[in-house]
Amino acid sequence: MAHQCKLYILEDTISGYRNDFSIYSLSLFGFANPLFSSRSSFRLSNKGIGPTYDNSAKRMFSVKTMPMSDLVGTSTGEAVAAKDGKNCGNSPKPFAFNKQRKRVKTFASQGSIKCKLDNMFSGQIVDSCRADIRVSAHKNVNIVNSSEVLAREGQKEAESFESLTSSSAVDGKQESETGIKQKQRSRNRKKKDETSESQSSTNNILAKSSQKDKNPNGLSQQVSENSSAANTTTEQINLSQTPLASPKKKTSRSRKKQVKIFDGLPKPEEVVDEAPSSNKSVQQPKRPTVNGFKSIKLKPLYPPVGKSVVVVESQTKAKVIQRYLGDMYEVIPSYGHVRDLAARSGAVRPDDDFSIVWEVPSPAWTHLKSMKVAISGADNLILASDPDREGEAIAWHVIEMLQQQDALRKDITVARVTFHEITESAVKSALQTPRNIDVNLVHAYLARRALDYLIGFNISPLLWRKLPGCQSAGRVQSAALALVCDREMEIEEFKPQEYWKVEATFSSKRASSLSSNYLVPSYLSRFGSLKLIQLSIGSETEAKIIQQIASASNFNVTGVKRNKVNKNPPTPYITSTLQQDAASKLNFTPAYTMKLAQKLYEGVEFSDGNAAGLITYMRTDGLHISDEAVKEICSLITERYGLDYVASSPRKLSKKAKNAQEAHEAIRPTDIRRLPSMLVGDLDEDSLKLYTLIWARTVACQMEAAKFDQIQLDIGNDDGSILFRASCSTISFPGFRSVYEDNETNSIRDVETEASGRGELYNILNNLKQGDRLSLCNIELKQHRTEPPLRYSEASLVKKLEELGIGRPSTYASTIKVLHDRNYVTTKSGVLLPEFRGRMVSAFLSHYFTEVMDYSFTADMETELDNVSGGFTEWKGLLRDYWTRFRNYSDRAGKVHTHQVEKMLEKTFGNFLFSSVPDEDRTCPSCLEGTLIFKVSRFGAGYFIGCDQHPKCKFIAKTLYGEEEEDDAPQSDSIVEEPKLLGTHPTSGEKVLLKGGPYGSYVQLGEDRTGYAPKRASVSQIKDVNSITIKDALNLLRYPILLGNHPVDGRPVVIKISRVGFTIRHRRNIAPVPKGFPPNNITMEKAVELLSGPDVRRCGRPKGLPKQEEEAVED
């Protein structure tokens, strides 16, 4: 017997989040029970209602939200303020203006309680709703959200239910009132007057809502409409803030509690829209826009509507677009991001609801000032940064910073436009369809930055402590490093196997009529009943047995097989395939390829004075091409190659790689009729080659397939125990290959050149028939060994990352660059070799952060981050779930002692570390008592094999320096086991000693003693350490030498000696002395010249400033 149950939305006070609630049912027994057997709590977010994140779930990140429109009658595209997570200020809020912000260089994206209360109603615009952005995050103040849904039946059950929840509601009310009263103490009398007006206005709104939403069956109008799927629009009231209609006796009491939250708030401005509702008396509040202005529906901005300022990312792009738009538009560059995540610990605060601290680089203030001046007299601000996540974030940062400086007037229109190619038609078309900032893309940006920061700035300090000299780790960076290191481990563990191939050549009278000197090559494909594979013949003995049998046999043609093969054209380029092809055909690195592609996208100025972008946006994983572009491509193919070469139907392509988003078009020329030869003189050689590669690939993708005629002959002996096979193919229709034979593509010619006589071989095989007798001319045995897997090149690593779904198109090149910069990998002969430092980092992370280093986990995380971009996953919920698990790994790894790490690395790389030690027991050859072990230097650069009896025994067998440190590493004969007395100082009489250290040998003046730091100097400049004399040592101990005071600031300039050579130092500037230049010849003038040269670097930090941790790089 089915029974009815009623649903209640209860505030979830256990989790501590006032905008979480749980669904309960009132059973017939009069007790409130959870609707589901497990705890089912939900969260109100800016996209709707979704379940809270259970930290025990391992990888279930995705949240399928219930659209807010189903609950409050708003449209799905509506941006609802102050409902994202715990604090409204933490959501990207370019729509919340702050007219009273001060100019500071560090900001926290953390909202105040005032912003949350001002946005109590999702449909109202509150001018005074400002996110207080400060260096330190505000203390969160919870708000009472007493949301109830009561059914008409069960009045007594409803009353008992209210009694159950009254205590928590009172506690929350007191907490909320306390926070508000603290804020009221600093307000003047005028504010108090405005507060009373706001309170009365809010009372009226709530009273009308309670009365008008009642319907005959006792349910609120909102709930009734949702259950019946009615489309009537009602007053839009935030469900998380305002109670729905309930029985009359309870409604007034609930309303009274709710109104007290508004004490002290200014009266909100009510903007009325004509709603398509049958009830004409209901006033519909106007929806807020993303950028905070009253008009959410933006009008076309072309043709010009007043004076407009267009913000793009680069100066080159600004110049090109300015030519298209004329004087009514001023195009200015932002030069990338105007602010960035603070490069120090604490920039992302998980304990404060993932609030974020931003910093503004010094150059950005100049760019912001230019923007502020430009928009002072403008009617429109148009944000035209790149059409991706980073571009959306740049636009958001620009708005936030201009608001911070009080630079945006109320009457100015702020719009976002995107275009995928920089052409006049594309730019003007984009201006005709402006939009607001995509909050989901900004959320995705924030999630990625926060996630990469949390990983980098928690793992990197561990590396610094446990593995000195290892600089950083990151989400994508570490996965890419693991691929390289795992492949190296596979190669080391690979054991080659021997195998043999049997090849024979035949001739026939029929073949001789065509060419008397040509032989038919073939290979053994079957012996006896065994079909041969690669390792079938495992020894020379087996191969010779086959040779003997074959030599004594007669052969004829036992089978002829002919078929036609089509080879489809390649797909158009996406980011990864462009990088791979440029690497294999042009020998360009991914980073260099992206640099050239960026220049082609932003545009060039032609010799005739015009300018245009040459290719579409180059960071994409989409394969589709616009219909207009396809028509132009097909038209060019018809004109240039003929109608037979055009594909029978336009090719519609889609990406099959994991996590492909396909938000943009494939990479193609903006004008396919702009031939490569037309750009000679306008582009440099490498840029022209890359453009030619893109042009040819784009044309080829819409051409017919290449067609081949293939023939295969089986040649067997009389009893059929031996079978040889010969095959050949020839082109019958070139199809798309014609574009690579075009004169336009000479610079990137990639046609498979037919070997000499290949066509003739096909004719010979084609003239042979089944039963024709063949003569065995020669039989050859060839020995082979299986090869280990190939090391990754930069191109193949990009391909592997794409296959696994790790990273995004925009991060591949930067990820590989970081691995090089950190000295984790080096490139030799076109392949990536892991340095031992990189292998240690990978082993450490794989051992102590197993889940983080798992390839599938990293790929799944990319999927979840893409879901954030699509609005399917709440970004802070994703971060909470991940952070809970990651913190456990980090805490456990932090408790591991360095000796445990050394033992783990010694076990993992034992064969490599002790390969040169003759004694398997690893007995120390110096003291004969200790055992050689792997040690990590405390000073950061050295990893060495030493005696475990240190300091009693100071023997060092091997110092493990990376090959990138060859100039820094000591020579093989530079290890000094015991201090060597060179002599005494002629003035002080102190001993001059030659000693060995973790960075190599050095000379020291005086002996070690407590409280005294003897003077030391590196001897890295001397090749043969054993040849050092007392004269050499005294010369080295003269440094540092004061050259004088700098002519500009009067600060001292000194010349010092380090383990990498002589350097000039002035304040924080360090300039190397050129190799081969005698340091004794350095004058003050020469030192000043070197300090102003390109090789100068800065180090250290100004005295008194806090130490900054090194930024960990991700993507």
**Residues 47-91: pLDDT tens digits?**
444 444 443 333 333 333 334 434 333 333 333 333 343 444 444
Q: Regarding predicted confidence, which is higher, 804 or 34?
A: 804
Query: pLDDT value at position 942?
Result: 64
- Give, in degrees to the nearest 5, the angle at Cα 727 between 725 and 730: 175
> For residue 996, what pLDDT band results from cuts at 50, 70 and 90?
confident
Q: What's the rounded mean pLDDT across residues 752-779?
A: 79
Higher pLDDT, 174 or 392: 392
Does the structure show a pLDDT above 50 at 986?
Answer: yes
pLDDT digits (tens, 9 = 90+) for 469-496: 788 888 899 999 999 999 999 999 999 9
Two tokens at 679?
A: 């750009």
Question: pLDDT band for position 958 (50/70/90)?
Answer: low
Segment 339-360 mean pLDDT: 93
Q: pLDDT band for 30, please (50, 70, 90 cuts).
A: very low
The DSSP call for residue 254 is H
What single DSSP character describes residue 1012?
B
| pLDDT score, position 237 | 32
pLDDT tens digits for range 1044-1087: 898 888 889 999 887 667 889 988 888 888 877 788 888 888 88
Q: What is the 3-state secondary structure (H, E, C) of 904-929?
A: HHHHHCHHHHCCCCCCCCCECCCCCC
Contact present, 525 and 501 (Cβ < 8 Å): no
Confidence check: pLDDT of 1018 > 70: yes
**Fold for domain 459-495+792-896?**
Topoisomerase I; domain 2 (1.10.460)
Looking at 281-417, which runs of residues are DSSP E strands? 284-285, 308-312, 329-333, 340-341, 348-349, 355-359, 380-383, 413-416
pLDDT (0 to 100) of residue 1030? 85
* Better-predicted residue by pLDDT, 571 or 262: 571
**Residues in CB range of 502: below 8 A, 6 or more apart:** 523, 524, 537, 543, 546, 547, 550, 779, 780, 781, 782
DSSP state, 1072?
Answer: E
CA 201 to chain CA centroid, nearest Å: 48
Instruction: Give the tokens for residue 95.
Output: 């729509």
What the block records as the tokens of 631 is 């028509």
Locate the DSSP E strands across 368-519. Answer: 380-383, 413-416, 498-507
Core vs surface per residue 662-694: b (16+ CB within 10 A) or e? bbbbbbbbbbbeebbeebeeebeebbbbbbbbb
Model pLDDT, residue 1100: 55
The pLDDT value recorded for residue 999 is: 62
Active-site residue flag, 617: yes
Confidence of residue 859 (pLDDT cuts 50, 70, 90): confident
Residue-level pLDDT at 774: 92
CA atoms 586, 591, 596, 597: torsion sign: positive
pTM given for the model? 0.63
Q: Which is nearest to 559 in space by CA: 761, 723, 721, 709?
A: 723
**CATH 2.70.20.10 region(s) of the chain?**
508-568+708-776
For the ranges 413-422, 481-490, 901-910, 1085-1094, the lowest mean pLDDT is seen at: 1085-1094
- Reference 314, options 599, 726, 626; nearest CA is 599
pLDDT of 987:
81
Residue extent(s) of CATH 1.10.460.10 domains in the chain: 459-495+792-896
Residue 393 predicted with pLDDT over 50? yes
Count how many Cα atoms sit within 13 Å of the Cα of residue 1012 in the half-sphere of its side chain: 9
Q: How high is the pLDDT of residue 636?
A: 97
- pLDDT averaged over every residue in the chain: 74
CATH number assigned to the domain with residue range 308-445, chosen from the 4 options 3.40.50.140, 3.40.50.1100, 3.40.630.40, 3.40.190.10: 3.40.50.140
Radius of gyration for the alpha carbons in the chain, expressed in angstroms and rounded: 37
Contact residues for 223 (Cβ-Cβ < 8 A; gap 6+):
149, 244
Residue 1019's pLDDT band (cuts 50, 70, 90): confident
Whether 1028 shows a pLDDT value over 60: the answer reads yes
Contact 345, 890 (CB under 8 A): no
pLDDT band at 810 (very low <50, low <70, confident <90, very high): confident
pLDDT surpassing 90 at residue 416: yes
- Provide the pLDDT for residue 700: 96
Count how many Cα atoms sit within 13 Å of the Cα of residue 1009 in the half-sphere of its side chain: 5
Q: Is the pLDDT of residue 737 over 90?
A: yes
Tell me the pairing of strands 943-947 and 932-936.
antiparallel
pLDDT tens digits, one per residue of 582-626: 999 999 999 999 999 999 999 888 888 888 999 999 999 889 999
Among 398, 390, 364, 362, which Cα is nearest to 452's?
Answer: 390
Instruction: Give the whole-angstrom CA distance, residue 284 versus residue 822.
Output: 58
- What is the structure's pLDDT at 653? 79
pLDDT band at 656 (very low <50, low <70, confident <90, very high): low
- CATH architecture of residue range(s) 575-704: Orthogonal Bundle (1.10)
Element (H, E) at 544: helix 540-551
Contact status, residue 149 vs residue 220, Cβ threshold 8 Å: yes
Structure tokens at 1014: 């003897």
**Residues whose CB is less than 8 angstroms from the CB of residue 475 and which lie 6 or more positions away in sequence, other chains included:** 451, 452, 455, 456, 852, 858, 861, 1114, 1115
Distance, in Å, from the CA atom of 1054 to the CA atom of 1045, rounded to the nearest integer, reads 9
What is the C-alpha to C-alpha distance for residues 673 and 159, in angstroms, rounded to an integer? 77
Among residues 417, 415, 361, the alpha carbon closest in space to that of 385 is found at 417
Which of 143-157, 581-595, 764-778, 838-852 is predicted least confidently? 143-157
Residue 815 has pLDDT above 90, yes or no: yes
**225-234, 912-921, 1097-1106: range with lowest mean pLDDT:** 225-234
Query: Does the pLDDT at position 173 exceed 60?
Result: no
Q: How confident is the model at residue 510 (pLDDT cuts 50, 70, 90)?
A: low
Is 508-568+708-776 assigned to CATH 2.70.20.10?
A: yes
Q: Residue 516 pLDDT more than 90? A: no
Split at pLDDT 50, 70, 90, the class of 428 is very high
Check residue 642 and give its pLDDT: 95
Question: Is residue 212 predicted with pLDDT exceeding 70?
Answer: no
Mean pLDDT of 863-871: 90
| Given 453, 617, 882, 961, the catalytic residue | 617
